[in-house]
Amino acid sequence: MRPQSEPDAMNSRTLVILAAALIIVVVIIVAATLLFTPGQTEPAFQAAVAFVEAAARGDDAAALALVSPAIRDAAAAGCPEGSLSACVDAYTPPEWGDLKSVVFRRATPDGESWDVDLISYYAANRGASGVCIYARMEPVDGSWQVTRYAGFIHCADPAWRDISSNPDAPNSEP
């Protein structure tokens, strides 16, 4: 085996340095993304997802625990059999089937509160481009409550635009 010539050793060393620099840059980008993108790990966003999952799956007890008294009262007075889940179920056409998943899409802070947008997908391949849901999340006694929700409509629906500030938003409570 012949010893490495000086140019070969320099090329190897340069490649190792470039590879190490690339790895460091990738680690920094991943770390920054994890630190500065709240995603579904923010408690307010987790509560919004949990509310939609519970309401869409018929778990009134879990859904009602995550909403404000005004939404509870509106559900008791205006939903079939006083069931919040029954109202939510009525928002989506039966041919969509059951909810399969709901995920955090984005959120806008408003003081201590959050305007949270979610996307859900349904069993009959509905929602491939998104069934959008809005939830207003406000802190109450150390936890998060849904104080207003709207949507459960296809994201391409023009009614989705500016849903957080639209007093006539579809499927809005309260």
- The pLDDT of residue 95: 82
**Residues of the chain below pLDDT 50:** none
Return d(Cα 89, Cα 76) in angstroms, integer: 15
- The pLDDT of residue 77: 95
- The pLDDT of residue 75: 94
> In the structure encoding, which two tokens stand for residue 134, read together?
């809005």
- The pLDDT of residue 33: 63
CA-CA-CA-CA dihedral for 133, 163, 150, 48, to nearest 10: 50
- The pLDDT of residue 111: 95
Domain boundaries, the chain: 1-37, 39-165
- The pLDDT of residue 130: 75
Is 39-165 a domain of CATH 3.40.630.10? Answer: no
Return d(Cα 39, Cα 59) in angstroms, integer: 25
- The pLDDT of residue 8: 66
Strand partners, 93: none
CB atoms within 10 A of CB 26: 10
Is this structure's pTM higher than 0.95? no
Q: Tens of pLDDT along 19-49?
A: 888 899 988 887 766 665 555 568 999 999 9
- The pLDDT of residue 43: 93
- With a CB cutoff of 8 Å and minimum separation 6, the contacts of 174 are 68, 70, 71, 73, 74, 148
